[in-house]
Amino acid sequence: MESRLYPQRVWRIFLISCMWVAMGVTAKNGNFSAVSDRPSVVNVGAMFTFYSAIGRSLGPAIFAAIEDVNSDSTILKNIKLNLIVQDTNCSGFVGTVEAMQLAGKNIVAALGPQSSGIAHVISHVMNELHVPLLSFATDPTLSSLQYSYFLRAITSDYYQMYAIADLVEYFGWREVVAIFVDDDYGRNGISVLGDALAPKRAKISYKAAFPPGAARSDIDSLLVGVNLLESRVFVVHVNPDSGLTIFSVAKRLGMMSSGYVWIATDWLPSVLDSSASIDPDTADLLQGVVALRHYTPDSDLKTRFSSRWGNIKNKETTKFNSYAPYAYDSVWMLARALDSFFNGGGTVSFSDDPRLRDQNGSALRLTSLQIFDQGPKLLQILTEMNFTGLTGKVQFDSEKNLITPAFDILNIGGTGSRRIGYWSNYSGLSTVPPETLYSKPPNTSNSNQHLYSVIWPGETTTKPRGWVFPNNGKPLQIAVPYRVTYPDFVTKDNGPLGARGFCIDVFEAAVELLPYPVPHQYILYGDGRRNPSFGNLVNDVAQMKYDAAVGDVTITTNRTRMVDFTQPYMESGLVVVAPVKETKSSPWSFLMPFTWQMWAVTGIFFLFVGSVVWILEHRMNTEFRGPPRQQLVTVFWFSFSTMFFAHRENTVSTLGRLVLILWLFVVLIINSSYTASLTSILTVQQLSSGIRGIDTLITSSDPIGIQDGSFAYNYLIHELNIAESRIRIMKTQDDYVKALQQGPGGGGVAAIVDELPYVQLFLANTKCQFSIVGREFTRSGWGFAFQRDSPLAVDLSTAILQLSENGDLQRIHDKWLSRDGCSGQSNPIDESRLSLKSFWGLFLICGIACSIALVIFFCRVLLQYSRYSAEGEQRDIEEDEPARPSRRSLRAPSFKDIIDFVDKKEAEIKDMLRRKSGDSKRHPSQGSDGQSS
């Protein structure tokens, strides 16, 4: 029996030995992961403030996810996640110490913290220990390359601030006041908000910061100061546990009433969503507030999680806020990454950090902190994760932020909140869920931004203006130019306003149309002896020496870079004024409508078209035949009689009729243009001057006059390159008259360059002794100048348009500037004359049509002649063959033969061709009969 069992034992030992050898070789080659290398338990850390508004949702979600992972047999087989939790206690110092203790417990990854300040500190530790950190801190600066092991498990505040900037632009506000907690979370978020507002021509007008844990009295003092500011749009970016104090103080100060705008970041929904319903006292504080909440799409997973929330152990809230789904997904992300990590042969091992010893070799107090050897590999797997969870698609971008960031836009009212829209970085503001827009091309244009109506503080649906005049009783300081010339526009007044004129009346009328009072005070700008520099005036407004400038301030490109202008209330532009003399009508005025080139080309085309029609009609129209002298007379008569549509000859050929119809159309246009131009020349008084406009003024070397203080000085020198030595400054209207009358030869000027409103008033005052020559060579207008981003510029622009529409602007103009006006601009004869360039297109079309008709005609004639010649030669050859069989050469047709053929009538040609064709058919039959006989 033993003899039979011994070989079997040997055989079993041999098989087992072979299996161990094979397993050892396989493990050595890396083709098999030994089960003994996979740990049964993996330590995972979590750090957050247990009893905070966010922590009360984070904790239960993390515990539920750990429980689900450990009970799921399809992931991390035979491996359990051991969650080690530390409470950061809402304290930067305590939180950092707790986080350091957690890092010393050989964890492979950490969840949290929610605090940005603690995340900044602990990220340095995790970088050193190679432990990935899945954090819920939203500080945008944590995404920098400095924190290589930091992974944000929730949407960054970077996108939230851009969503707020889009809200500000959507409602048309230009300034906001930022109220924030002065820590990493608050400062860095508001910094991004400023960057987001800048491209939209908006800004943070004031940053109201308070320290973490500030007393209610500090917040009270802060809001009292904020309430004195101009802006009424407040962005509140604070911690959830102290944010409601701000609204409590604001309610007491009357800052939750009509006209105020309050925008809260995601901290407010985090507080409100944690309870089944909003406490009535809390709801009363928040009426009309607009808030942002992290968006998660609706799904079956989210519905099941929401239903399960009531059964989760150790929870302290009846509902969860938007942080809970992200916490749940972060655990599953880590579990999937660890599963891939172990399946790829990863092991959990730790080693000492040599930098945690001092120079003498003695261990520091941090020897419990060890480096996770496979940390880089796990980090890489985490950054490549891609799955669908409670929050939708979970995937990191190149900056290790979650893709497809989006927010709900909420409006708090009554005892709850309602969603008025969504924001995503893909399509901006919309009333459609973001996931439905991802399949469409991105469109963030202003016309594509939509939100439902908002109920603002004070229970009004009217959009707040967003600003008021400061409550410090200081009126607007408005600079008005103290003009010497043309005081009708603006100058000093001894009345209560201190200034009067057309510009002052327009401004006062526009202010009256505003729905709010605008206390203001006029300050004269200038010494009253000469016109002030308008460039310096605008620059002083830009330097905030004045709040605005009201007067005849021209809107130029350089000035718009410094200040904001209203809608122009007066059109303007530079024109040239020159001395003129009346020109008497000439006996030869009838020749003036056309230039000599136009007369010459028109005459040539009359003869050309007449010749073409004669050629086309000569063969078939008896009216175009006869002796040469008669035909020449016919050509001339027909050509020039078409000018008056009095030609007697009828056209019978198709080509002739086509050419004639086209030519009569050209004649019609020429006659109409000639009549209109001659009427203008004979009925309008013509003025002549050596200066025809700005072009002739530039090419000359004569002096040029300009008004004192006008922007024309810089324009002529820098834009038109006119020598500065040619410029003469004119201070009064008498200087204008004297300089123009003296002329360049008498010490005066050849012309004056000034703006059209001044020139029109000047011409009226001088009873039209001078005139505008040429046309306006710049286009601009007058507007009221305000400091950059002043909301008054927008409101006054609307008021100016109303003045224009209801006729008040014209009535103010007539009150100050109505005069017996001049025609204003001379009408030189040269400008009324019609040149060839106005009609060359017509002549070109007519010439092409005539040429095509001639080509068709001669091709047809040559074809007929070739048939005629070929049949004649064939007949001659057949007749001469019996007599002279050796003769083959025939006489070539001469030019005279061709002319004679062309001169024949069409009917004769056709008859000849028919007879020759008949003879050629009969001749071969006769030859055949002769041979047969």
DSSP state string for 111-156:
E--S-HHHHHHHHHHHHHHT--EEE----GGGGSTT-TTEEESS--
Specify the CATH number of the domain 41-153+302-355+364-395.
3.40.50.2300
pLDDT (0 to 100) of residue 921? 57
The answer to whether residue 337 scores a pLDDT higher than 90 is yes
pLDDT (0 to 100) of residue 516? 82
What average pLDDT does this structure show over 695-716? 90
CA 351 to chain centre: 56
Give residue 13's pLDDT band: very low, low, confident or very high (50, 70, 90). very low
pLDDT (0 to 100) of residue 917? 63
Mean pLDDT of the chain: 83
Q: Are strands 520-525 and 476-481 parallel, antiparallel or unpaired?
A: parallel
Establish whether domains 41-153+302-355+364-395 and 687-779 are of one fold.
Answer: no
Out of 630-634, 730-734, 838-842, pick the least confident.
630-634
What average pLDDT does this structure show over 900-909? 64
pLDDT (0 to 100) of residue 38? 83
Residue ranges of domains in the chain? 41-153+302-355+364-395, 157-294+405-448, 476-569+788-806, 589-683, 687-779
Sheet holding 785-786, edge to edge: 520-525, 476-481, 548-549, 785-786, 564-565
Tokens of 80: 């359990």
449 - beta bridge partners?
none
The answer to whether residue 189 scores a pLDDT higher than 70 is yes
SS3 423: strand
The answer to whether residue 255 scores a pLDDT higher than 90 is yes
Give residue 922's pLDDT band: very low, low, confident or very high (50, 70, 90). low
CA 754/CA 772 separation, integer angstroms: 10
Tokens of 91: 């304290």
751 - beta bridge partners?
704
pLDDT (0 to 100) of residue 923? 57
Q: What are phi and psi of 706, to 5 degrees?
A: -135, 160
Greater model confidence, 132 or 442: 132
Give residue 872's pLDDT band: very low, low, confident or very high (50, 70, 90). low
Count of C-beta atoms within a 10 Å radius of residue 501:
23
pLDDT (0 to 100) of residue 821? 64
pLDDT tens, position by position, 531-568? 999 999 999 999 999 999 999 999 999 999 999 999 99
The answer to whether residue 262 scores a pLDDT higher than 70 is yes
The answer to whether residue 918 scores a pLDDT higher than 70 is no
Q: Which of 405, 179, 434, 175 is nearest to 289 (CA)?
A: 179
Q: Are strands 109-111 and 80-87 parallel, antiparallel or unpaired?
A: unpaired
CA 869/CA 29 separation, integer angstroms: 103
CA 466/CA 171 separation, integer angstroms: 9
Q: Which CATH architecture has domain 476-569+788-806?
A: 3-Layer(aba) Sandwich (3.40)
pLDDT (0 to 100) of residue 644? 65
The answer to whether residue 828 scores a pLDDT higher than 70 is no
What average pLDDT does this structure show over 153-171? 96
pLDDT tens, position by position, 49-104? 888 889 999 999 999 999 999 999 999 989 999 999 998 887 778 878 888 888 88
pLDDT (0 to 100) of residue 931? 43
Task: Report which secondary-structure segment, H or E, holds 175.
Answer: strand 175-181
Out of 59-63, 408-412, 706-710, pick the least confident.
706-710
The answer to whether residue 707 scores a pLDDT higher than 50 is yes
Give residue 145's pLDDT band: very low, low, confident or very high (50, 70, 90). confident
pTM here is 0.67
pLDDT (0 to 100) of residue 379? 96
Could you tell me if 371 and 349 are in contact, meaning their C-beta atoms sit under 8 angstroms apart? Answer: no
> Looking at the domain 687-779, which fold is it?
D-Maltodextrin-Binding Protein; domain 2 (3.40.190)
CB-count burial class (<10 Å; 0-12, 13-18, 19+) for 317: middle
Out of 299-313, 473-487, 532-546, 670-684, pick the least confident.
670-684
The answer to whether residue 755 scores a pLDDT higher than 70 is yes
Greater model confidence, 27 or 311: 311
> Looking at the domain 157-294+405-448, which fold is it?
Rossmann fold (3.40.50)
177 - beta bridge partners?
206, 234
pLDDT tens, position by position, 419-447? 999 999 999 999 999 999 988 888 888 88
728 - beta bridge partners?
705
SS3 194: helix
pLDDT (0 to 100) of residue 871? 60
Q: Which of 541, 529, 444, 439 is nearest to 790 (CA)?
A: 541
Give residue 885's pLDDT band: very low, low, confident or very high (50, 70, 90). very low
CA 577/CA 519 separation, integer angstroms: 41
pLDDT (0 to 100) of residue 877? 53
Q: Which of 154, 130, 162, 158 is nearest to 144 (CA)?
A: 158
pLDDT (0 to 100) of residue 916? 63
* % of the chain beyond a pLDDT of 70: 81
Tokens of 95: 């939180």
pLDDT (0 to 100) of residue 647? 64
Sheet holding 203-210, edge to edge: 203-210, 175-181, 233-237, 261-264, 290-294, 406-413, 416-424, 428-430
What average pLDDT does this structure show over 623-647? 68
Could you tell me if 126 and 255 are in contact, meaning their C-beta atoms sit under 8 angstroms apart? Answer: no
